[in-house]
Amino acid sequence: MLDFLKYTLDNGLDVIVHEDHRCPIAAVNLWYHVGSKNERPGRTGLAHLFEHLMFEGSAHHDSGYFAPLQKAGASLNGSTNCDRTNYWEVVPTNALELALWLESDRLGYLLPALTSAKFENQREVVLNERRQSYENRPYGLALMALMSALFPSDHPYHWTTIGHAEDIRAATLEDAHAFFQTYYHPGNASLTVAGDVDTEPVLELVRRHFEEIPAGSPVPAVVTGAESQRNPTPAAVDTRLLLEDRVELPRLYLAWRSPRLFSDGDADMDLLAELLAGGKTSRLYRTLVYERRLATDVSAAQGSREIDGWFCLIATAAPGIELMELEQVIVEELAALADTGPSEAELQRGLTQVEVQFVYRLQTVGGFNGRSDQLNAYNVYAGDPGFMARDRARYRSTTAERVRGAVRQLHEPGRIALSVVPDGAVERALPGSRPAVVS
């Protein structure tokens, strides 16, 4: 579906080139196979804090990373999740060499320029990011409560990527140096260059900038604690939690452990989310929002991650409606779908949505979720940048019976129900809920 060439340098760096000559731009996209799952309790948030430090200059350009690129007309950004950290630039083609020079300099020569002044400044910025995007945002702490309830305390998905504020405060410059030495080396990275470029000259440029960077030691295995290893399947109990927050309307989160990325059943769960809450004709939207007007919104998602997954349903109560009513309708709808499975028309609707999403995803070469990001994702998670065809095939091969099997898994014990209620309205949570611990 996407033409590309993959080449691995002697130092282990995977290089992927994808040509598309319609627009005179080049996309540089660099994945490091490290995320918050590689952190240890007590130092959560370090992978993301480290991402910030990558924009503060390196040995041969010891000032802000943004300035030379914005001057060249680039857009650029980076992001961290539980499994990986990605960095990208989209530049006019004449600035491709500049982008590769800068990316290679911060991979090869970051530490000499990484001072405590930069570290302390970005730690404050990250604490302010946490305040803005989580603490001071309605429902902003819900995901933390869910993750810590779904996964045991020694599971790498027990904490969210932003991390605990006290861990961010406790992080040291030495932690950052050690993190870089452990995870930021060519063998743990995947570089895609896409756009109005020619493959051979790009490979030449990449070799010239990246070949000199020494291969690092193999990355240590992700630490999954004894509890998680002893108990890799979901805890066989349902849990009810509540969180008071500065919100106007109560919201219900229902979450389950689910298949990990690309594993058996993952695509079925993804399709199930579409059938339940994708668009106005979906089962839950139609019932909860359109017909019975119990909810103001409803959504569903299969969180396909590298070492585990979770499935989540979210619905906000309409004024005057209690979460118990939402829960009851959702349970009934899940039971009905488990009973009869989806209709043929319903399944076709879901598959059409998935199909067009693969097409819409092809529209940009760079940035988050652009083609270069997808090639790296497939390379890092499936070992093959060309995995897209097989990714699509997973959905094409699904059946009504498989979707029925997926929804039946939601009836197994291990469900987390989180009620987020307005401050002081504890009685509006599902009965029997205990306070969730978040910080």
Partner 1 sequence: MTGRVDRSHMPEPGRVPPTRFPVVRTGRLSNGLALKTVEHPGPPVVTFRLTMPVGSASDPEHAHGLAALTADLLDEGSIERTALELHAALDRIGARLGTEVGADSTSVTLTTVVRHALQGAGLLAEIVGKPRFDASDVGRVRDLRRSRVRQLRAVSSAVADRIFLGTLFPGHPYGHLGIGTDTSLASLTPAQVTAFHRDAYQLELATLIGVGALTHEEIGDVAERTFGALPVRPPAAEAVVAPAVLDAAGPPSARLVLVDRPAAVQSELRVGHVAVARATPDYHALQVLNVVLGGQFVSRLNQRLREEKGYTYGVRTGFDYRRAPGPFAMQGSVQADATVECVQEVLSQMAVIGGDCPVTLAELEMARAALTRGFAQGFETAGQVARGVASLVLHELPASYYDTFVPEVEAVDVDDVTAAAAAHLRAGEAVAVIVGPADQLMSDLPALGLGDPVRVDP
Q: What is the footprint of partner 1 within residues 339-378 (CB under 8 A)?
A: 349, 352-353, 355-356, 359-360, 362-366
Q: Shortest gap between Cβ of 337 and partner 1 (angstroms)?
A: 18
Among residues 94 and 397, whose Cβ is nearest to partner 1? Answer: 94
Give the CA radius of gyration of the chain. 23
Q: Say which residues have a Cβ less than 8 Å from residue 166's Cβ, sequence separation at least 6.
A: 439
Residue showing tokens 């530490």? 111
H-run or E-run covering 348: helix 344-360
Specify the residue for token string 């995007």.
133
Q: How far is the CB of 122 from partner 1 (least distance, A)?
A: 7
Nearest residue to 273 (alpha-carbon basis) of 309, 321, 324, 239: 309
**According to CB under 8 A, which one of 208, 390, 411, 434 is a site residue for partner 1?**
208
Output the six-digit token pair for 66. 């943004």
Q: Which is nearer to partner 1, 10 or 230 (CB)?
A: 10
Task: Considering only residues 214 through 253, tell me which ones interact with partner 1, judged by CB under 8 A.
Answer: 246-249
Q: Is 120 in the site for partner 1 (CB under 8 A)?
A: yes
* Rounded Cα distance, 303 and 322, in Å: 27
Minimum distance, C-beta of residue 141 to partner 1, in the bound complex (Å):
12
Q: Which is nearer to partner 1, 107 or 149 (CB)?
A: 107
Between 86 and 105, how does the x/- string for binding to partner 1 read (CB under 8 A)?
----xxxxxx-xx--xx-xx
Q: From the CB of 297, what's the least distance to partner 1, in Å?
A: 8
Which stretch in 31-39, 57-65, 80-88, 226-234 sits in contact with partner 1 by CB under 8 A? 57-65
Write the CB contacts of 62 (distance below 8 Å, at least 6 apart in sequence). 113
Positions in 186-205 near partner 1 (CB under 8 A): 196, 204
Any contact of residue 290 with partner 1 (CB under 8 A)?
yes
Each residue 25-44 as x (binds partner 1 by CB under 8 A) or -, in order, gives x-------------------
Size of the site for partner 1 (CB under 8 A): 80
CA dist., res. 203 & res. 20, Å (int): 16
Pick 167 or 308: Cβ nearer partner 1:
167
- Give dist(CA 146, CA 159) in Å, integer: 9
Binding to partner 1 by residue 289, rule CB under 8 A?
A: yes
Strand-pairing partners, residue 244, are 421
67 or 437: CB nearest partner 1: 67
**Binder of partner 1 out of 3, 124, 264, 384 (CB under 8 A):** 124
68 touches partner 1 by CB under 8 A: yes
Measured over the CA atoms of residue 183, residue 368, residue 383 and residue 199, the dihedral's sign is: negative
Question: Burial code of 37-61, b = ≥16 C-beta within 10 A, e = fewer?
Answer: bbbeeebbbbbbbbbbbbbbbbeeb
Among 22, 226, 230, 233, binds partner 1 (CB under 8 A): 22
Nearer to partner 1 among residue 106 and residue 240 (C-beta): 106
Name all contacts of 286-289 with Cβ < 8 Å and 24+ positions apart: 287/329, 287/333, 288/315, 288/326, 288/329, 288/330
- Residues 299-328, interacting with partner 1 (CB under 8 A): 316, 318-319
